[in-house]
Structure 1
Amino acid sequence: MSGRRAICSVLALAAVVAAGLASANELGDPDKGAEVFKKCTSCHQIGGGAKNRVGPQLNGIFGRPAGSLDGANYSKSMLRAGDDGLIWTEETLDAYIENPKALISKTRMSFRGISDIKERSHLLAYLRVFSDDPANIPEAEPTATATDHDLDPAILALKGDPEYGEYLASECLTCHQISGNSDGIPAITGWPTEDFVVAMHAYKRKLRPHPVMQMMAGRLSDEEIAAIAAYFKDLE
Protein backbone atom coordinates (compact mmCIF):
# COMPACT_ATOMS: atom_id res chain seq x y z
CA MET A 1 0.00 0.00 0.00
CA SER A 2 2.93 2.36 0.62
CA GLY A 3 4.03 1.94 -3.01
CA ARG A 4 0.53 2.67 -4.23
CA ARG A 5 0.43 5.83 -2.10
CA ALA A 6 3.78 6.97 -3.49
CA ILE A 7 2.58 6.51 -7.09
CA CYS A 8 -0.55 8.52 -6.34
CA SER A 9 1.54 11.28 -4.78
CA VAL A 10 3.70 11.49 -7.91
CA LEU A 11 0.61 11.67 -10.13
CA ALA A 12 -0.90 14.39 -7.96
CA LEU A 13 2.32 16.43 -8.06
CA ALA A 14 2.52 16.11 -11.86
CA ALA A 15 -1.03 17.40 -12.23
CA VAL A 16 -0.34 20.30 -9.89
CA VAL A 17 2.84 21.27 -11.73
CA ALA A 18 1.04 21.26 -15.08
CA ALA A 19 -1.74 23.46 -13.71
CA GLY A 20 0.72 25.82 -12.06
CA LEU A 21 2.60 26.50 -15.30
CA ALA A 22 -0.58 27.87 -16.85
CA SER A 23 -1.45 30.08 -13.88
CA ALA A 24 1.85 31.41 -12.54
CA ASN A 25 1.02 35.06 -13.34
CA GLU A 26 -2.65 35.16 -12.40
CA LEU A 27 -2.37 36.23 -8.76
CA GLY A 28 -3.18 39.73 -7.56
CA ASP A 29 -1.13 42.67 -6.29
CA PRO A 30 1.09 41.79 -3.29
CA ASP A 31 1.17 45.44 -2.13
CA LYS A 32 -2.63 45.42 -1.88
CA GLY A 33 -2.36 42.00 -0.27
CA ALA A 34 -0.24 43.49 2.52
CA GLU A 35 -3.23 45.68 3.41
CA VAL A 36 -5.59 42.70 3.32
CA PHE A 37 -3.19 40.76 5.57
CA LYS A 38 -3.91 43.24 8.38
CA LYS A 39 -7.12 41.23 8.88
CA CYS A 40 -4.94 38.23 9.76
CA THR A 41 -2.38 39.78 12.11
CA SER A 42 -4.30 39.08 15.32
CA CYS A 43 -3.42 35.40 14.82
CA HIS A 44 -0.65 35.13 12.21
CA GLN A 45 2.78 36.60 11.53
CA ILE A 46 4.82 36.59 8.32
CA GLY A 47 8.24 37.85 7.23
CA GLY A 48 11.50 38.19 9.14
CA GLY A 49 11.28 36.99 12.73
CA ALA A 50 7.75 35.65 12.30
CA LYS A 51 6.64 33.31 15.10
CA ASN A 52 3.71 31.03 15.74
CA ARG A 53 0.92 32.78 17.63
CA VAL A 54 -2.69 31.62 17.91
CA GLY A 55 -2.13 30.42 14.35
CA PRO A 56 1.10 29.30 12.64
CA GLN A 57 3.54 31.75 11.06
CA LEU A 58 2.97 31.83 7.31
CA ASN A 59 6.44 31.96 5.79
CA GLY A 60 6.72 29.22 3.17
CA ILE A 61 3.00 28.42 3.28
CA PHE A 62 2.83 27.48 -0.42
CA GLY A 63 3.54 23.79 -0.83
CA ARG A 64 3.37 23.11 2.91
CA PRO A 65 1.26 20.13 4.06
CA ALA A 66 -1.59 21.24 6.29
CA GLY A 67 -0.88 20.95 10.01
CA SER A 68 2.85 20.30 9.54
CA LEU A 69 4.68 23.29 11.03
CA ASP A 70 6.65 22.41 14.18
CA GLY A 71 5.47 24.19 17.31
CA ALA A 72 2.14 25.35 15.91
CA ASN A 73 -1.09 24.56 17.75
CA TYR A 74 -3.36 22.78 15.26
CA SER A 75 -6.84 21.36 15.65
CA LYS A 76 -7.36 17.62 15.26
CA SER A 77 -9.26 18.33 12.05
CA MET A 78 -6.33 20.26 10.58
CA LEU A 79 -3.87 17.52 11.55
CA ARG A 80 -6.19 14.94 10.00
CA ALA A 81 -6.42 16.98 6.78
CA GLY A 82 -2.63 17.09 6.58
CA ASP A 83 -2.34 13.34 7.19
CA ASP A 84 -4.91 12.91 4.45
CA GLY A 85 -2.75 14.77 1.92
CA LEU A 86 -3.99 18.37 1.98
CA ILE A 87 -1.28 20.69 0.60
CA TRP A 88 -1.55 24.47 0.70
CA THR A 89 -1.69 25.63 -2.92
CA GLU A 90 -3.32 28.63 -4.58
CA GLU A 91 -6.54 26.67 -4.95
CA THR A 92 -6.77 25.17 -1.47
CA LEU A 93 -5.66 28.38 0.26
CA ASP A 94 -8.24 30.35 -1.71
CA ALA A 95 -10.99 27.96 -0.62
CA TYR A 96 -9.83 28.04 3.00
CA ILE A 97 -9.57 31.83 3.15
CA GLU A 98 -13.01 32.18 1.57
CA ASN A 99 -14.64 30.03 4.27
CA PRO A 100 -12.29 28.17 6.64
CA LYS A 101 -14.89 25.85 8.16
CA ALA A 102 -16.20 24.78 4.76
CA LEU A 103 -12.83 23.17 3.98
CA ILE A 104 -11.68 22.12 7.46
CA SER A 105 -14.57 21.47 9.81
CA LYS A 106 -13.81 22.34 13.45
CA THR A 107 -10.70 24.30 12.53
CA ARG A 108 -9.36 26.49 15.36
CA MET A 109 -9.43 29.46 12.98
CA SER A 110 -12.46 31.52 13.98
CA PHE A 111 -12.01 33.92 11.05
CA ARG A 112 -15.24 34.23 9.03
CA GLY A 113 -13.42 34.32 5.71
CA ILE A 114 -13.03 36.77 2.83
CA SER A 115 -15.82 36.59 0.26
CA ASP A 116 -14.28 39.07 -2.21
CA ILE A 117 -12.28 37.10 -4.75
CA LYS A 118 -10.06 40.10 -5.62
CA GLU A 119 -9.09 40.59 -1.97
CA ARG A 120 -8.25 36.89 -1.72
CA SER A 121 -6.17 37.10 -4.89
CA HIS A 122 -4.19 40.06 -3.52
CA LEU A 123 -3.69 38.28 -0.20
CA LEU A 124 -2.43 35.11 -1.91
CA ALA A 125 0.01 37.20 -3.96
CA TYR A 126 1.34 38.72 -0.72
CA LEU A 127 1.68 35.35 1.01
CA ARG A 128 3.49 33.97 -2.01
CA VAL A 129 6.23 36.60 -1.70
CA PHE A 130 7.33 34.84 1.51
CA SER A 131 7.65 31.40 -0.08
CA ASP A 132 10.90 30.10 -1.58
CA ASP A 133 11.49 31.26 -5.17
CA PRO A 134 7.81 32.19 -5.62
CA ALA A 135 8.07 32.59 -9.40
CA ASN A 136 8.66 28.86 -9.78
CA ILE A 137 6.30 27.32 -7.21
CA PRO A 138 4.08 24.62 -8.85
CA GLU A 139 0.76 25.65 -7.31
CA ALA A 140 -2.59 24.39 -8.50
CA GLU A 141 -4.58 26.78 -10.63
CA PRO A 142 -5.99 29.65 -8.55
CA THR A 143 -9.71 30.23 -8.24
CA ALA A 144 -10.63 32.40 -11.21
CA THR A 145 -14.27 33.08 -10.38
CA ALA A 146 -16.23 33.24 -7.16
CA THR A 147 -17.13 29.75 -6.00
CA ASP A 148 -19.42 28.66 -3.18
CA HIS A 149 -17.45 26.13 -1.18
CA ASP A 150 -20.13 25.66 1.46
CA LEU A 151 -21.87 22.33 1.59
CA ASP A 152 -25.66 22.45 1.40
CA PRO A 153 -26.89 22.05 5.01
CA ALA A 154 -29.21 19.36 3.67
CA ILE A 155 -26.14 17.25 2.77
CA LEU A 156 -24.73 17.51 6.30
CA ALA A 157 -28.19 16.69 7.70
CA LEU A 158 -28.48 13.39 5.81
CA LYS A 159 -28.77 10.39 8.15
CA GLY A 160 -26.68 7.61 6.71
CA ASP A 161 -27.55 3.92 7.01
CA PRO A 162 -24.56 2.18 8.68
CA GLU A 163 -25.51 -1.23 7.23
CA TYR A 164 -25.54 0.18 3.72
CA GLY A 165 -22.32 1.99 4.59
CA GLU A 166 -20.70 -1.32 5.59
CA TYR A 167 -21.58 -2.72 2.16
CA LEU A 168 -20.13 0.33 0.39
CA ALA A 169 -17.03 0.48 2.60
CA SER A 170 -15.48 -2.70 1.24
CA GLU A 171 -13.56 -0.66 -1.34
CA CYS A 172 -12.33 1.74 1.38
CA LEU A 173 -10.97 -1.20 3.34
CA THR A 174 -8.65 -2.26 0.54
CA CYS A 175 -6.40 0.56 1.85
CA HIS A 176 -7.71 1.76 5.21
CA GLN A 177 -7.51 -0.62 8.16
CA ILE A 178 -10.75 -1.45 9.94
CA SER A 179 -8.80 -1.67 13.21
CA GLY A 180 -8.09 2.05 13.05
CA ASN A 181 -4.36 1.50 12.74
CA SER A 182 -2.45 3.47 10.13
CA ASP A 183 0.46 2.19 8.07
CA GLY A 184 1.26 5.00 5.65
CA ILE A 185 -2.46 5.57 5.03
CA PRO A 186 -4.51 7.64 7.50
CA ALA A 187 -7.01 5.86 9.76
CA ILE A 188 -10.67 6.76 9.23
CA THR A 189 -12.25 4.60 11.93
CA GLY A 190 -14.21 6.67 14.45
CA TRP A 191 -14.19 9.87 12.42
CA PRO A 192 -16.98 12.33 13.34
CA THR A 193 -19.67 12.12 10.67
CA GLU A 194 -19.44 15.80 9.70
CA ASP A 195 -15.66 15.64 9.29
CA PHE A 196 -15.96 12.57 7.08
CA VAL A 197 -18.68 14.09 4.88
CA VAL A 198 -16.82 17.40 4.51
CA ALA A 199 -13.61 15.56 3.57
CA MET A 200 -15.32 13.38 0.96
CA HIS A 201 -17.03 16.35 -0.65
CA ALA A 202 -13.70 18.21 -0.67
CA TYR A 203 -12.29 15.30 -2.69
CA LYS A 204 -15.37 15.42 -4.90
CA ARG A 205 -14.71 19.11 -5.62
CA LYS A 206 -10.97 18.31 -6.02
CA LEU A 207 -9.92 20.63 -3.21
CA ARG A 208 -8.15 17.72 -1.52
CA PRO A 209 -5.41 16.49 -3.86
CA HIS A 210 -5.33 12.67 -3.74
CA PRO A 211 -6.34 11.48 -7.27
CA VAL A 212 -7.60 8.05 -6.16
CA MET A 213 -9.80 9.60 -3.48
CA GLN A 214 -11.04 12.20 -5.96
CA MET A 215 -12.08 9.39 -8.30
CA MET A 216 -13.76 7.34 -5.57
CA ALA A 217 -15.62 10.28 -4.04
CA GLY A 218 -16.74 11.39 -7.48
CA ARG A 219 -18.55 8.07 -7.96
CA LEU A 220 -20.52 8.36 -4.71
CA SER A 221 -23.88 10.05 -4.21
CA ASP A 222 -24.58 12.29 -1.21
CA GLU A 223 -26.59 9.47 0.38
CA GLU A 224 -23.77 6.96 -0.14
CA ILE A 225 -21.21 9.27 1.44
CA ALA A 226 -23.52 9.73 4.44
CA ALA A 227 -23.90 5.96 4.77
CA ILE A 228 -20.14 5.32 4.72
CA ALA A 229 -19.62 8.11 7.24
CA ALA A 230 -22.20 6.55 9.56
CA TYR A 231 -20.51 3.16 9.29
CA PHE A 232 -16.99 4.33 10.09
CA LYS A 233 -18.16 6.66 12.88
CA ASP A 234 -19.42 3.75 14.98
CA LEU A 235 -16.43 1.48 14.50
CA GLU A 236 -14.11 1.08 17.49
Structure 2
Amino acid sequence: MIGTRGHCTQNGMKKNIQRVVPARYRFCTLWKRRVTLGLAAMIFAATSAFSNEIGDAEKGEAVFRECSECHSVGQGAKNRVGPHLNGIFGRRAAGVDGFDYSNGLTRMGKDGLVWNFDLLDRYVQNPKAFASDTRMAYKGLKDAGQRSDLLSFLRRYSDDPSNIPEAAPTAAGTDHSVDAAILAIQGDPDYGAYLSSECTSCHQLSGNNDGIPGIIGWPAEDFVVAMHAYKDKFRPHPVMQMMAGRLSNEEIAALAAYFEAARP
Protein backbone atom coordinates (compact mmCIF):
# COMPACT_ATOMS: atom_id res chain seq x y z
CA MET A 1 0.00 0.00 0.00
CA ILE A 2 1.23 3.52 -0.68
CA GLY A 3 -0.16 6.92 0.21
CA THR A 4 -0.75 10.30 -1.42
CA ARG A 5 -0.77 13.46 0.63
CA GLY A 6 -3.79 15.74 1.07
CA HIS A 7 -5.40 18.02 3.67
CA CYS A 8 -8.52 18.06 5.82
CA THR A 9 -9.90 20.56 8.27
CA GLN A 10 -10.69 19.56 11.82
CA ASN A 11 -11.78 22.12 14.46
CA GLY A 12 -10.77 24.91 12.11
CA MET A 13 -7.24 23.66 11.74
CA LYS A 14 -5.65 22.02 8.70
CA LYS A 15 -3.95 18.71 9.22
CA ASN A 16 -1.86 16.69 6.83
CA ILE A 17 -3.33 13.28 6.12
CA GLN A 18 -2.29 10.39 4.00
CA ARG A 19 -4.84 8.94 1.57
CA VAL A 20 -4.22 5.26 1.13
CA VAL A 21 -4.17 3.95 -2.46
CA PRO A 22 -4.06 0.21 -3.19
CA ALA A 23 -0.72 -0.84 -4.71
CA ARG A 24 -2.43 -2.58 -7.63
CA TYR A 25 -3.85 0.78 -8.81
CA ARG A 26 -0.41 2.30 -8.68
CA PHE A 27 0.90 -0.63 -10.72
CA CYS A 28 -1.86 -0.17 -13.33
CA THR A 29 -1.09 3.53 -13.63
CA LEU A 30 2.63 2.91 -14.10
CA TRP A 31 1.91 0.12 -16.59
CA LYS A 32 -0.37 2.39 -18.67
CA ARG A 33 2.27 5.10 -18.74
CA ARG A 34 4.94 2.66 -19.86
CA VAL A 35 2.67 1.16 -22.53
CA THR A 36 1.80 4.65 -23.81
CA LEU A 37 5.45 5.61 -24.00
CA GLY A 38 6.27 2.29 -25.66
CA LEU A 39 3.55 2.74 -28.28
CA ALA A 40 4.71 6.26 -28.98
CA ALA A 41 8.26 5.00 -29.52
CA MET A 42 7.01 2.21 -31.78
CA ILE A 43 4.90 4.60 -33.85
CA PHE A 44 7.81 7.00 -34.20
CA ALA A 45 10.14 4.19 -35.26
CA ALA A 46 7.58 2.76 -37.67
CA THR A 47 6.92 6.17 -39.17
CA SER A 48 10.61 6.77 -39.70
CA ALA A 49 11.13 3.37 -41.30
CA PHE A 50 7.96 3.79 -43.35
CA SER A 51 8.95 7.14 -44.78
CA ASN A 52 12.34 5.77 -45.76
CA GLU A 53 10.81 3.02 -47.89
CA ILE A 54 9.86 5.44 -50.67
CA GLY A 55 12.52 5.73 -53.31
CA ASP A 56 14.59 8.63 -54.57
CA ALA A 57 12.55 10.75 -57.00
CA GLU A 58 15.68 12.29 -58.53
CA LYS A 59 16.99 8.84 -59.45
CA GLY A 60 13.49 7.93 -60.56
CA GLU A 61 13.53 10.72 -63.11
CA ALA A 62 16.53 9.05 -64.73
CA VAL A 63 14.75 5.67 -64.71
CA PHE A 64 11.71 7.29 -66.34
CA ARG A 65 13.73 8.19 -69.43
CA GLU A 66 13.31 4.59 -70.55
CA CYS A 67 9.53 4.95 -70.13
CA SER A 68 9.37 8.31 -71.89
CA GLU A 69 9.50 6.69 -75.31
CA CYS A 70 5.85 5.74 -74.78
CA HIS A 71 4.60 7.78 -71.79
CA SER A 72 4.66 11.44 -70.84
CA VAL A 73 4.22 13.13 -67.48
CA GLY A 74 4.19 16.68 -66.21
CA GLN A 75 2.82 19.90 -67.61
CA GLY A 76 1.22 19.41 -71.01
CA ALA A 77 1.51 15.62 -70.88
CA LYS A 78 -0.58 13.84 -73.52
CA ASN A 79 -1.34 10.27 -74.50
CA ARG A 80 1.25 8.75 -76.79
CA VAL A 81 1.85 5.07 -77.43
CA GLY A 82 0.88 4.70 -73.76
CA PRO A 83 -1.41 6.90 -71.66
CA HIS A 84 -0.06 9.98 -69.88
CA LEU A 85 0.89 9.32 -66.27
CA ASN A 86 -0.25 12.51 -64.57
CA GLY A 87 -2.37 11.62 -61.55
CA ILE A 88 -1.64 7.91 -61.88
CA PHE A 89 -1.80 7.40 -58.11
CA GLY A 90 -5.40 7.09 -57.03
CA ARG A 91 -6.59 6.74 -60.62
CA ARG A 92 -8.82 3.87 -61.66
CA ALA A 93 -7.16 1.39 -64.01
CA ALA A 94 -7.85 2.25 -67.66
CA GLY A 95 -9.07 5.62 -66.44
CA VAL A 96 -7.69 8.04 -69.04
CA ASP A 97 -10.42 9.17 -71.41
CA GLY A 98 -9.74 8.58 -75.06
CA PHE A 99 -7.00 5.98 -74.61
CA ASP A 100 -7.52 2.51 -76.09
CA TYR A 101 -6.67 0.14 -73.23
CA SER A 102 -6.46 -3.64 -73.38
CA ASN A 103 -9.54 -5.61 -72.38
CA GLY A 104 -7.78 -6.90 -69.29
CA LEU A 105 -6.95 -3.49 -67.83
CA THR A 106 -10.39 -2.20 -68.79
CA ARG A 107 -12.02 -5.05 -66.87
CA MET A 108 -9.80 -4.36 -63.86
CA GLY A 109 -10.89 -0.74 -63.91
CA LYS A 110 -14.56 -1.72 -64.08
CA ASP A 111 -13.96 -4.07 -61.16
CA GLY A 112 -12.75 -1.09 -59.14
CA LEU A 113 -8.98 -1.46 -59.29
CA VAL A 114 -7.36 1.85 -58.31
CA TRP A 115 -3.64 2.34 -58.78
CA ASN A 116 -1.61 2.63 -55.60
CA PHE A 117 2.06 2.09 -54.92
CA ASP A 118 1.70 -1.65 -54.44
CA LEU A 119 -0.25 -2.35 -57.62
CA LEU A 120 1.92 -0.07 -59.73
CA ASP A 121 4.99 -1.77 -58.32
CA ARG A 122 3.66 -5.18 -59.38
CA TYR A 123 2.64 -3.94 -62.82
CA VAL A 124 5.98 -2.30 -63.56
CA GLN A 125 7.79 -5.38 -62.25
CA ASN A 126 6.06 -7.73 -64.72
CA PRO A 127 3.33 -6.17 -66.88
CA LYS A 128 2.37 -9.39 -68.66
CA ALA A 129 2.03 -11.36 -65.42
CA PHE A 130 -0.26 -8.61 -64.08
CA ALA A 131 -2.43 -8.29 -67.18
CA SER A 132 -1.88 -10.94 -69.85
CA ASP A 133 -3.21 -8.91 -72.76
CA THR A 134 -1.51 -5.66 -71.83
CA ARG A 135 -0.35 -3.72 -74.86
CA MET A 136 2.71 -2.51 -73.03
CA ALA A 137 5.62 -4.28 -74.72
CA TYR A 138 7.96 -3.51 -71.82
CA LYS A 139 9.18 -6.73 -70.18
CA GLY A 140 9.37 -5.28 -66.68
CA LEU A 141 11.75 -3.70 -64.23
CA LYS A 142 13.15 -6.36 -61.88
CA ASP A 143 15.19 -4.08 -59.62
CA ALA A 144 12.98 -3.22 -56.61
CA GLY A 145 15.04 -0.13 -55.78
CA GLN A 146 14.67 1.30 -59.27
CA ARG A 147 10.94 0.64 -59.20
CA SER A 148 10.65 2.54 -55.92
CA ASP A 149 12.65 5.41 -57.38
CA LEU A 150 10.50 5.48 -60.51
CA LEU A 151 7.23 5.46 -58.57
CA SER A 152 8.52 8.12 -56.20
CA PHE A 153 9.15 10.31 -59.26
CA LEU A 154 5.70 9.63 -60.76
CA ARG A 155 4.10 10.31 -57.38
CA ARG A 156 5.14 13.96 -57.72
CA TYR A 157 2.59 14.34 -60.51
CA SER A 158 -0.45 13.17 -58.60
CA ASP A 159 -2.99 15.69 -57.32
CA ASP A 160 -1.71 15.74 -53.77
CA PRO A 161 1.23 13.39 -53.27
CA SER A 162 1.48 14.07 -49.55
CA ASN A 163 -1.95 12.51 -49.03
CA ILE A 164 -1.29 9.35 -51.00
CA PRO A 165 -0.64 6.43 -48.66
CA GLU A 166 2.70 4.80 -49.21
CA ALA A 167 1.03 1.69 -47.95
CA ALA A 168 2.46 -1.72 -47.91
CA PRO A 169 2.98 -1.04 -51.55
CA THR A 170 6.57 -0.28 -50.97
CA ALA A 171 7.07 -3.66 -49.46
CA ALA A 172 8.49 -5.07 -52.65
CA GLY A 173 6.61 -8.02 -54.06
CA THR A 174 8.38 -11.19 -55.07
CA ASP A 175 9.88 -11.42 -58.52
CA HIS A 176 7.07 -13.17 -60.33
CA SER A 177 9.09 -15.00 -62.92
CA VAL A 178 7.61 -18.51 -63.04
CA ASP A 179 10.16 -21.25 -62.44
CA ALA A 180 11.37 -22.80 -65.69
CA ALA A 181 10.65 -26.26 -64.27
CA ILE A 182 6.97 -25.29 -63.86
CA LEU A 183 6.78 -23.91 -67.40
CA ALA A 184 8.34 -27.14 -68.68
CA ILE A 185 5.56 -29.35 -67.28
CA GLN A 186 3.73 -31.01 -70.17
CA GLY A 187 0.05 -30.80 -69.38
CA ASP A 188 -2.43 -33.54 -70.26
CA PRO A 189 -5.24 -31.88 -72.26
CA ASP A 190 -7.67 -34.72 -71.50
CA TYR A 191 -7.13 -34.21 -67.78
CA GLY A 192 -7.50 -30.49 -68.42
CA ALA A 193 -10.85 -31.08 -70.09
CA TYR A 194 -11.96 -33.02 -67.01
CA LEU A 195 -10.90 -30.14 -64.74
CA SER A 196 -12.26 -27.36 -66.95
CA SER A 197 -15.89 -27.36 -65.80
CA GLU A 198 -15.19 -24.91 -62.97
CA CYS A 199 -13.47 -22.58 -65.43
CA THR A 200 -16.16 -22.74 -68.09
CA SER A 201 -18.92 -21.94 -65.63
CA CYS A 202 -17.69 -18.34 -66.04
CA HIS A 203 -15.34 -18.28 -69.04
CA GLN A 204 -17.41 -19.01 -72.11
CA LEU A 205 -16.45 -21.86 -74.43
CA SER A 206 -17.57 -19.64 -77.30
CA GLY A 207 -14.55 -17.45 -76.62
CA ASN A 208 -16.71 -14.37 -76.07
CA ASN A 209 -15.35 -11.60 -73.87
CA ASP A 210 -18.66 -10.33 -72.49
CA GLY A 211 -17.51 -9.06 -69.10
CA ILE A 212 -15.36 -12.14 -68.41
CA PRO A 213 -12.28 -12.78 -70.54
CA GLY A 214 -12.29 -15.60 -73.06
CA ILE A 215 -9.51 -18.14 -72.52
CA ILE A 216 -10.16 -20.41 -75.50
CA GLY A 217 -7.00 -20.73 -77.62
CA TRP A 218 -4.92 -18.92 -75.03
CA PRO A 219 -1.17 -19.81 -75.34
CA ALA A 220 -0.31 -22.38 -72.68
CA GLU A 221 2.63 -20.42 -71.28
CA ASP A 222 0.53 -17.27 -70.87
CA PHE A 223 -2.14 -19.33 -69.10
CA VAL A 224 0.41 -20.85 -66.70
CA VAL A 225 2.02 -17.49 -65.92
CA ALA A 226 -1.38 -15.90 -65.28
CA MET A 227 -2.59 -18.71 -63.02
CA HIS A 228 0.58 -18.65 -60.95
CA ALA A 229 0.26 -14.88 -60.69
CA TYR A 230 -3.16 -15.43 -59.11
CA LYS A 231 -1.90 -18.35 -57.03
CA ASP A 232 0.89 -16.19 -55.59
CA LYS A 233 -1.56 -13.26 -55.14
CA PHE A 234 0.44 -11.17 -57.59
CA ARG A 235 -2.73 -10.43 -59.57
CA PRO A 236 -5.47 -8.70 -57.54
CA HIS A 237 -8.62 -10.79 -58.05
CA PRO A 238 -9.89 -12.62 -54.93
CA VAL A 239 -12.01 -15.21 -56.79
CA MET A 240 -9.22 -16.15 -59.19
CA GLN A 241 -6.71 -16.19 -56.33
CA MET A 242 -8.93 -18.71 -54.55
CA MET A 243 -9.45 -20.87 -57.66
CA ALA A 244 -5.75 -20.91 -58.60
CA GLY A 245 -4.76 -21.56 -55.01
CA ARG A 246 -6.57 -24.91 -55.09
CA LEU A 247 -4.73 -26.13 -58.19
CA SER A 248 -1.43 -28.00 -58.30
CA ASN A 249 1.27 -27.18 -60.84
CA GLU A 250 0.29 -30.28 -62.85
CA GLU A 251 -3.40 -29.29 -62.85
CA ILE A 252 -2.59 -25.78 -64.07
CA ALA A 253 -0.44 -27.28 -66.85
CA ALA A 254 -3.28 -29.63 -67.83
CA LEU A 255 -5.78 -26.77 -68.02
CA ALA A 256 -3.30 -24.72 -70.04
CA ALA A 257 -2.87 -27.54 -72.55
CA TYR A 258 -6.62 -28.03 -72.86
CA PHE A 259 -7.54 -24.38 -73.36
CA GLU A 260 -4.67 -23.77 -75.80
CA ALA A 261 -5.98 -26.55 -78.06
CA ALA A 262 -9.68 -25.76 -77.56
CA ARG A 263 -11.61 -23.96 -80.27
CA PRO A 264 -14.98 -22.17 -80.08
TM bucket, shorter chain: 0.7 to 0.9
Residue identity opposite 1:188 in structure 2:
I
Identity of aligned residues (%): 61
Greater RCO between the two (CA within 8 Å, min separation 6)? 1
Query: Size of the alignment, in residue pairs?
Result: 212
Equivalent position of 1:217 in the other structure: 244
RMSD: 3.1
Deviations 1:171-228 (A, max 9, x none): 1223222222344322222322222222111111212111111111111111111111
Higher deviation after alignment, 95-104 or 215-224 = 95-104
Q: Secondary structure at the match of 2:104?
A: helix
Q: d(CA) in 2 for partners of 1:41 and 1:149? A: 24
Deviations 1:27-62 (A, max 9, x none): 223333223222322221012211122222112323
Equivalent position of 1:114 in the other structure: 141
The offset of 1:140, in angstroms, is 6.2
The offset of 1:82, in angstroms, is 4.0
| Contact 1:54 1:73 (8 Å CA) reproduced | no
Point out where structure 1 has 5 or more consecutive residues left out of the alignment.
1-21
Equivalent position of 1:52 in the other structure: 79
| Bigger Rg, structure 1 or 2 | 2
Point out where structure 2 has 5 or more consecutive residues left out of the alignment.
1-46
Matching of residue 188 in structure 1 with residue 212 in structure 2: no
**TM-score where L is the length of structure 1:** 0.73
Equivalent position of 2:193 in the other structure: 166
Residue identity opposite 2:57 in structure 1:
P
The offset of 1:69, in angstroms, is 3.6
Of 62, 75, 78 in structure 2, the residue corresponding to residue 35 of structure 1 is 62
Matching of residue 235 in structure 1 with residue 250 in structure 2: no
Identify, as 1 or 2, the structure richer in strand: 2
**TM-score where L is the length of structure 2:** 0.66
Equivalent position of 2:107 in the other structure: 83
Residue identity opposite 2:216 in structure 1:
T
Higher deviation after alignment, 189-198 or 107-116 = 107-116
The ranges of structure 1 where at least 4 consecutive aligned residues each deviate by more than 6 angstroms after the TM superposition are: none
